[in-house]
Amino acid sequence: MSNPGDYFYGWNLLYKTIEKDIKKKDDLLIALAHFVLTKHSQFRCIGLGENKILTEDEEVSGTELLPDNWNLDENNYALRYICDKKLYILLALRTEGSIIITLLDVQTRKVSNICLSAEELVKDLKGPITNMMPSASELADRYRRELLEPVFEGQNKSATTQTNTRSTTADESNPLRIGLPKRPPIGQYYPGGAEPSFFGFPEVGRGDLDPLARGGYGNLFPSPSHPNFRFGPGGSGGMQPRFDPYGPQPDRNIRPNPNPDHLPPPNFSSDYFM
């Protein structure tokens, strides 16, 4: 928070309207949470309670002030807010030595909470905010990060978009990054078997991993319904070998002649009867 004075501009006006109602330290923590919501996030308070139904009249109403009897209960607080025609509920529960404050987005069911110690954070019930809560700037920042941002995305939407744009640009400019799968442009024609690889690398061994892959069915026996299933000699179904047949077969032009560069293995003998 660069300038706490500017950030807390308007706090004195709010405090003057509730000064007579402040009875305990928890009240100041709730008042500061209310200030962060209404002053810096355009929330408007529409009353007390936990009613999750928003009426048409409430959609166009609301105020930056706290309603009457907002701190009447000794251990609980329940305030209703509206922002962009969405209903939010701020709840607080007093436990032993702490107060747990919860913010609920009624529409998305997103919930955030923060646990605070009023005895440590609040030093006085009257005077300037720096006297009442010496760490008011840090506390307001915690309200924003831990209570508001996990639920309310409106104020950070542009920053998130910019961050995602920068990340995408950086990923595409890195030649060593595989990244997300890239598909060919819609409408672009590729001859059969020449389609670009889905992940950008050769489909070596794909058939051993995926029986339905374009490269074949690998070491698994195929189903007659498989697109790569071929019929054996005489029309009988069966799996064809994935390797070249043993021995030269000139008629198939696979191994027309033995390769003279191949050396015989060690201790090789042409006499099969030895």
Q: Which domain holds residue 85?
A: 25-153
CA-wise closest residue to 73 among 135, 21, 148, 130: 21
Which pLDDT value is given to residue 269? 66
Domain membership flag for residue 214: no
Domain membership flag for residue 209: no
Domain membership flag for residue 3: no
230 compared with 6, residue with greater pLDDT? 6
Total-model pTM: 0.56
Is pLDDT of 136 > 90? yes
Q: Mean pLDDT for the chain? A: 74
Cα torsion 139, 86, 52, 107 to 10°: value is -100
Number of domains in the chain: 1
Provide long-range contacts, Cβ within 8 A and 24+ apart, for 1-7.
1/137, 1/140, 1/141, 4/136, 4/137, 7/40, 7/137, 7/140
Domain membership flag for residue 224: no
Plot region of 248 (φ>0 → left; ψ -120 to 50 → alpha; else → beta): beta
The secondary structure of 69-87 as a DSSP string is TTT-SSSEEEEEEEETTEE
Q: What is the CA radius of gyration of the chain?
A: 36
118 compared with 212, residue with greater pLDDT? 118
Domain membership flag for residue 148: yes
Find all residues with CB under 8 Å of 97, minimum gap 6, and list them: 117, 119
Considering only 57-71, 86-100, 220-234, which range has the smallest mean pLDDT? Answer: 220-234
Q: How confident is the model at residue 234 (pLDDT cuts 50, 70, 90)?
A: very low
Find the CATH number of the domain harbouring 64: 3.40.1000.30
Is pLDDT of 47 > 90? yes
Which helix (DSSP H) or strand (DSSP E) does residue 12 occupy? helix 11-18
Which pLDDT value is given to residue 158? 35
Domain membership flag for residue 232: no
Domain membership flag for residue 103: yes
Considering only 8-22, 57-71, 216-230, 250-264, which range has the smallest mean pLDDT? Answer: 216-230
Per-residue model confidence as pLDDT tens digits over 185-203: 444 444 444 444 544 445 5
Is pLDDT of 242 > 70? no
Is pLDDT of 166 > 80? no
Find all residues with CB under 8 Å of 37, minimum gap 6, and list them: 43, 81, 88, 90, 148
Is pLDDT of 153 > 90? no
C-alpha distances out from residue 217 to 209, 227, 241, Å: 9, 10, 11
Mean pLDDT of 201-207: 55
Q: How far apart, in whole angstroms, are the C-alpha atoms of residue 72 and residue 23?
A: 10
Per-residue model confidence as pLDDT tens digits over 125-135: 999 999 999 99
Burial class (CB in 10 A: 0-12, 13-18, 19+), 81: buried
Which pLDDT value is given to residue 96? 85
Report the percentage of the chain scoring pLDDT > 90.
45
76-83 sheet: strands from edge to edge: 44-48, 76-83, 86-95, 98-105, 111-116
Which pLDDT value is given to residue 71? 94
Is pLDDT of 139 > 90? yes
Is pLDDT of 124 > 90? yes
Domain membership flag for residue 273: no
